[in-house]
Each structure stands twice: as C-alpha cells, then as structure tokens.
Chains A and B, each alone.
Chain A
C-alpha cells in the first residue's frame, strides 16, 4: 500500500477504527477513503537547505520571523 493508493475496504475499515472514525466510515466510506489518500499525500519536495534538525515553527510568530 503506497501513500497515494487507497487501501482495500477491510484495511480502510481498520484504519478508520484506529482513528475513531468507524461510524463515519460505515456511513461515508468513500469520503473517508478519499480523505485517507489526500491526507497521506506527502510534501512533494523539500528545499536543499532542509535538514531533519531544522527548527520547526512551533507556533508561527511574525514577530519572531521578522525580528520586530
């Protein structure tokens, strides 16, 4: 199962259950499956400067970013 491929119905039901979305999947299986595919889409490309130790913007602050 790759990131951009929908799992089969049994796998999807299990994944939905794990996320507390069992009832939602029963009622709207297509929406949950589409959401899975969409949600698993990774960031396409990262800049050359990116490193796994890059400090994240925990909460974006314009003030901090711009040194105001």
Chain B
C-alpha cells in the first residue's frame, strides 16, 4: 500500500486514469500534508485550497464521464510565485509586489489549466529570483527538508522544498543562472533547465531576458519529463520562444545508456575551482554507474569555468538592472539588502562590456555545439559546496559564484540536476547532465537510467518517516 500523498506524478496519473484514485482525495491528502509540514518548512507563499478543491472536483467529474485529458489531468501542482495566475498576486516574494494582481494566466499556467491540472498554490523564492533567504521579506524563506538550518538552494527555493517533502508532485521554477538546478541539488530532487525557448516565459516575471528559462522540479525523472512535455512548445507571445517541435521525452525514456557517449567536464571541478571532496566523490560514483550501464564516459574540455561565469554574470547583471532601474532609483529601501546589492551591480557595467559578453556568448555557444558533436551528452557537478546555513549571508552570496550551472544558461542548452548520493551528514549531493539544444529526450534518458540504477531519488527526508498519511488500497 502506498500513502496517497507520496505517490509520484506518474503513479498518480495512472491511478487517476483508471479511476481508482480520486483527484479530490489526492488533492485533500496533499493539502493535509501541506497543513502539517509547511508551517515549519515555508515552501508556500500562498496555498490556493479553494481553487485546488474546485479544479480537482471538476477534473474528477470530467474523468468520470470518460474525458481523461492526459497525465496532468487532476494532477496537483504548484508554481514559483513568479508565474501569473489570473486573479492572484504574483509577488516575486517582494514587498514591491505585494499589491500586484495578475489579469491573465502565464502561458504555462494556461497550458496546465487546459491539461486539467490542479493548482495547489504559489511557492517561495529568492526576491525577484535574485536575492537570498532573509528575514526582511514579507514572507518567510523556504527551509531545507533535510536539515532545517540549511539553505534549500535558490532561487526556486519553495519548489525544491515542496518537491522533496512531497507537498506537490509537480512544481515549476525558473532558471537564469541555475535557479532550478540549485534547489534541486540542495533538496535531493530533479530540476530541469530545458533549452532556451523550449518553454514559454510569457507571464513570468523576468530576471534577465536572454538567460531566463522555465523548468520543472519534481521528485523523479519520469515526473519531470511528463511535466516538461505538458508545457513545452512554441508561444508566439514570447520573443525567445523557439518554433520547434521537441522530441517525445517519454517514448525513449527507459531505453538505457548502452553505447551512448558521455563527456565529463572534469576540469570545471578538478582544475578551475576546488569542490568539496564529497561532491566530487558523488560524481565519481555516478561515472562508475554510467560505465556499468554500458555508457562510454570520457573527459571533454570546454573553456575555463570562469569565462562562462563572467559571460553569464555580465549579461545577467545588465539585463536585470534594466528591469529594476526605476525602483532601485526611487524606492531602494523596499528591496531586501541582499537583492539590492545584487541588482545594483548592473548599474555600472559598461555598454562595451555587455556587448563583449554577447560576443563571447556566440563563441561559447559554438564551442559547446562542437563538443556535442563528439558525445551524446555532458556531465559535471552542480555546486562546489554543500548547502550552507540559511542565516550565513556571506556563504549564500558565494553560492551564485561557486557553481557549474551558468555555462548551460549561456549555451542555452538543456541541463538537469540529479542526486548522486548524500554527504556524511545526510545532505544531498548532485551532478548535472546536459545535452544538445532541443535534445531534452536524451538528457532525460540518461538521467532516468542513472537514477533508476543509483536509487537516490527513492530516499526521503527524515521528517516524512514520521508523517502518517492516508493510504491507497
């Protein structure tokens, strides 16, 4: 017997389709779990219980009439509070947006609504997807499910926390320099930053237009692929959206990695910057698993990490400042100190430096493409350090610099963070798997094979062992 609220998205979808799981019961079980755990972990800024009950009821009635729409029908989900939902505030976890109210759905919200999904609520984040956890904001910061004193990663912090605690089987975050993959790394779940332009950003508050991506965070790889599949696709309203039909990510998901060529970007963490030895041990173990599964794993070199980071940093700072300039001039006191510090950096970037960064980006993209001519996918670590204390502002500031995620934002390429084990203190470790543009199918395929063999996704935060929930007969 399985606890209802512990069902994965894929499991729940099957049960809902067969009508032996009621979307209403599933939603109620999750609302119960949220009520029990969220006062401690603060994944949610707002729980939309009334909307969830109404949407679950409508889904149940439609499915009972034989109108099952697909795996997201009747499926509860939650959104980083940076996505518009018509009639609700999109706070961006900021005092500046407390009185906002969205007049229309974001494109991904609309797609999930059309798929029959059930909105559980809006999730915590770092202010404007760029600050850090702080007591200065109107809502508390999300906490790490594996150790409440630690940083859950960001900026999609509530997504990582909610996914790991099983508060929502599907969550959506955004990633400009790693903000989906960092919380996935810290919380021991799966975070996918897809190809630039694969998922619409219309109705999503921007941070840096040319680096922003929407991405799913879930407990396992299959769930992530299902959610990606439900929302990906061209949106003429998003100027960055690619008119490209992506491959079916579910059809070949479980094909394995036998014969695939995988490049390890080891110089990022062996030469360019020193990583925690436990994180290196995690990826070393993962390489062994992939080889055992039949993959040909070999080293591959890209430009030094610092070059990728510099390129991303300048574009990020300049574009973010352009969005926030007026508020930083007129009401700087309404930002939290950490956000203010980070946002202001863009005020002093020379125009020529921004152009150089864009020129550099052209070269780095070509370099990345050439590397992927030799192999099917790349792997490297995600963070250089284990999650720091949530109240250590200096260490949190360093998380933006000491990471290997930004290169894939610069390259616009799909990259997923997957768990590679646990530290001595029981904190998740992670690596990234990255691929060619629009080849999310390959990235998911490798991630699924690795996670299935390694089994790390099955482990749950200790607090869940004590929770008593309804069971599915």
Contact = CB atoms under 8 A, between A and B. Distances in A.
A31 B438 contact: no
Interface string A1-38: 00000000000000100011101100110011011101
Contacts of B239: 59
Contacts of B236: none
Contacts of A39: 317, 344-349
B438 A68 contact: yes
Nearest to A19: B347
A23 B341 contact: no
B240 A60 contact: yes
Interface residues of A, number: 39
Task: Give the interface SS of chain A, mostly helix, strand, loop or mixed.
Answer: loop
Contacts of A47: 303, 307, 360, 363-364, 367
Contacts of A35: 341, 344-345, 347-348
Contacts of A60: 196, 210-211, 240, 361, 365, 412
Contacts of A32: 344, 347
A15 B348 contact: yes
A35 to B, nearest CB: 3
Given A45-B304, A47-B303, A56 B437 contact: no
Interface residues of B, number: 57
Contacts of A20: 325, 329
Nearest to B328: A24
B358 interface: yes
Nearest to A20: B329
Contacts of A61: 196-197, 240, 242
A50 B356 CA distance: 9
B240 A56 contact: no
A5 B413 CA distance: 35
B438 A62 contact: yes
A63 B369 CA distance: 12
B329 A45 contact: no
A40 B350 CA distance: 7
Given A32-B344, A57-B365, A45 B306 contact: yes
B406 to A, nearest CB: 13
Interface string B24-64: 00000000000000000000000000000000000000000
Contacts of A31: 332, 337, 340-341, 344
A-B pairs with the 6 shortest C-beta distances? A39-B348, A35-B344, A56-B358, A54-B359, A66-B437, A24-B332
Given A39-B348, A68-B242, 4 more contacts: A19-B348, A40-B349, A56-B362, A62-B198
29 contacts: A23-B329, A28-B340, A31-B332, A31-B337, A31-B340, A39-B317, A39-B348, A40-B349, A43-B314, A43-B353, A43-B356, A45-B304, A46-B360, A47-B303, A47-B360, A47-B367, A50-B359, A54-B359, A54-B362, A59-B210, A59-B239, A59-B240, A60-B196, A60-B211, A61-B196, A62-B195, A63-B244, A65-B366, A68-B242
